[in-house]
């Protein structure tokens, strides 16, 4: 049995209008029908650009955000239905590591108290020896326990965040952009730490990041998200060797590599225009407005399901009507007219006109 089974999960945020009587005038379709499974001891990577719903998906899995529909089964138990005390108890087994270590740590709590708080809440005995062991495990210097978050560097703070997630001995850790706030040299240290901890403690990770190279490096399997849905899912190596979805192809071709020769040779697939607003997602295939391989028949009307192509390795699934034809080269890429995203026309809100995230639209 898989450790985590997510089925048809959706998170729709209502857009409300009116000061006295608020009425719902639309929805932001942040996550819209995502299914995925994560096995024990595996690392699942979720990539996508900003606004694709990857963070919301991570939060919905931990029930930090209420899902609109769908189920999240953790170790056979439906988390989405849990409430109150039951949910709190269940949370011991799934923890989160946040992007910005400074704003996710209480500045007035010492490391010792930060770590102890979670352990106490779950009735674990946090003796000094256990705390020291945690601090050593994540590679913090001696004497860290008595210090406060501001006394540490960015990389060390992220280590505290990891120690805090580890202190309640969870099975699953959801890491939302764990290294994107860090400098490259420090980023590597934290990535190495994550993989060492996984090997030692048998952890399961869901790593959410926008950096494809990072995700590929840490993950066993990777899911690529676009506008609230997974468009391709594959073992990390296969995704890079044989990207099947046009969006994955474009994404891979856009990542700069530190190798001048490869850069000179590379053929970029430049996507025209911007990511459409998640409040007014395109009909049919969400990607059809920017897709260079778009066909006239079904792309704009029918939403493709994730499916496995013939001859593709197990677990490599793609949501594209024309994946076979693209692979065989029978349809060629063509020019796409850039469509500007006019946020103001998209939905009738008094909120910010161009919001870069769901939080911004909702004014949180």
Partner 1 sequence: MSALLEVEDLKVAFTRRGEPDSVAVDGVSFDVQPGEIVGLVGESGCGKSVTSLAIMRLLPERGNRVTGSIRMDGDELTALSDGQLRERRGRDLSMIFQDPLSSLNPVITVGLQITEVLTRHRGMDKKAARAEAVELLDRVGIPDPRRRLDAYPHQLSGGMRQRALIAIALACSPRLLIADEPTTALDVTIQAQILDLLKQLVAETGTALVMITHDLGVVAGLCDRVNVLYGGRIVERAERHELFRAPRHPYTHGLLGSIPRLDGPPGEDLAAIKGSVNDNLPWTSACAFAPRCPNALEVCTSVTPAPVEDGRFLRCHNPVGAS
Q: Does 136 engage in binding with partner 1 (CB under 8 A)? A: no
Considering only residues 212, 225, 312, 358, which one is a binding residue for partner 1 as defined by CB under 8 A? 212
CA–chain centroid gap for 162, Å, is 17
- The alpha helices in the chain, defined as continuous H runs, are 54-61, 84-90, 111-121, 128-137, 154-166, 184-201, 212-218, 236-241, 246-254, 260-265, 323-328, 343-346, 358-361
Q: Which is nearer to partner 1, 148 or 240 (CB)?
A: 240
Q: Which stretch binds partner 1 (CB under 8 A): 3-11, 73-81, 158-166, 244-252?
A: 244-252
Q: Which helix (H) or strand (E) holds 302?
A: none
CA 264 – CA 144 distance, rounded (Å): 47
- Min dist. Cβ of residue 217 to partner 1 (A): 4
Q: Indicate which single residue of 142, 340, 350, 364 sits in contact with partner 1 (rule: CB under 8 A).
A: 340
* Cα–Cα distance measured from residue 292 to residue 360, given in angstroms and rounded to the nearest whole number: 30
- Considering the complex, state which of residue 91 and residue 286 has its C-beta at the smaller distance from partner 1: 286
Binding piece for partner 1, criterion CB under 8 A, among 83-91, 95-103, 186-194, 311-319 = 186-194
Subset of residues 260 to 319 that bind partner 1, contact rule: CB under 8 A: 260-264, 266, 268, 270-271, 273-275
Instruction: Determine the size of the site formed for partner 1 (CB under 8 A).
Output: 63
Which long-range contacts link 264-269 to residues 24+ away (Cβ below 8 Å)? 269/333
Which of 187, 244, 248, 289 forms a contact with partner 1 (CB under 8 A)? 187
Q: With binding defined as CB under 8 A, does residue 361 bind partner 1?
A: no
Please give the torsion angle defined by the CA atoms of residues 270, 271, 273 and 277, in that order, rounded to the nearest 10 degrees.
-150
Min dist. Cβ of residue 294 to partner 1 (A):
16
Half-sphere exposure of 324 (CA within 13 A, CB side): 6
Q: Which residues bind partner 1 (CB under 8 A)?
A: 49-50, 153-156, 183-189, 191-192, 195-196, 210-214, 216-219, 236-237, 240, 250-264, 266, 268, 270-271, 273-275, 337-344, 352-354, 356
């Amino acid at each position: 049995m898989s450790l985590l089974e997510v089925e048809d999960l959706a998170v729709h945020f209502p857009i409300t209008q009116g000061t006295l009587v608020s009425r719902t005038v639309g929805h932001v379709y942040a996550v819209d029908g995502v299914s995925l499974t994560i096995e024990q001891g595996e690392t699942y990577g979720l990539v996508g650009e900003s606004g694709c719903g990857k963070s919301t998906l991570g939060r919905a899995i931990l029930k930090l955000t209420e899902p609109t529909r769908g189920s999240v089964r953790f170790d056979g138990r439906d988390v989405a239905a849990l409430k109150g005390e039951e949910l709190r108890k269940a949370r011991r087994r799934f923890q989160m590591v946040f992007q910005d270590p400074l704003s996710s740590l209480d500045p007035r709590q010492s490391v010792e108290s930060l770590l102890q708080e979670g352990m106490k809440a779950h009735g674990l005995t946090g003796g000094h020896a256990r705390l020291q062991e945690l601090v050593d495990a994540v590679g913090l210097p001696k004497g860290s326990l008595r210090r406060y978050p501001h006394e540490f560097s960015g990389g060390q703070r992220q280590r505290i965040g990891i120690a805090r997630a580890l202190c309640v001995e969870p099975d699953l850790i959801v890491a939302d952009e764990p290294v994107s706030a860090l400098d490259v040299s420090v980023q590597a240290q934290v990535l190495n730490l994550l993989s060492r901890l996984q090997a030692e403690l048998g952890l399961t990770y869901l790593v959410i990041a926008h950096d494809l190279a990072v995700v590929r490096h840490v993950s066993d399997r990777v899911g690529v998200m676009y506008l609230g849905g997974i468009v391709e899912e594959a073992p990390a190596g296969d995704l890079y060797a044989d990207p099947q979805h046009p969006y994955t192809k474009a994404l891979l071709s856009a990542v700069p590599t530190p190798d001048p020769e490869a850069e000179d040779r590379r053929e970029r697939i430049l996507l025209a225009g911007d990511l459409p607003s998640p409040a007014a997602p395109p009909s049919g295939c969400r990607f059809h407005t920017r897709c260079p391989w778009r066909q006239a028949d079904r792309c704009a009307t029918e939403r493709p399901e994730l499916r496995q192509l013939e001859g593709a390795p197990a677990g490599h699934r793609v949501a594209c009507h024309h994946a076979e034809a693209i692979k065989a080269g029978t349809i060629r890429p063509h020019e796409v007219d850039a469509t500007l995203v006019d946020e103001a026309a998209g939905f009738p809100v008094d909120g910010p006109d161009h919001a870069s995230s769901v939080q911004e639209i909702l004014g949180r």
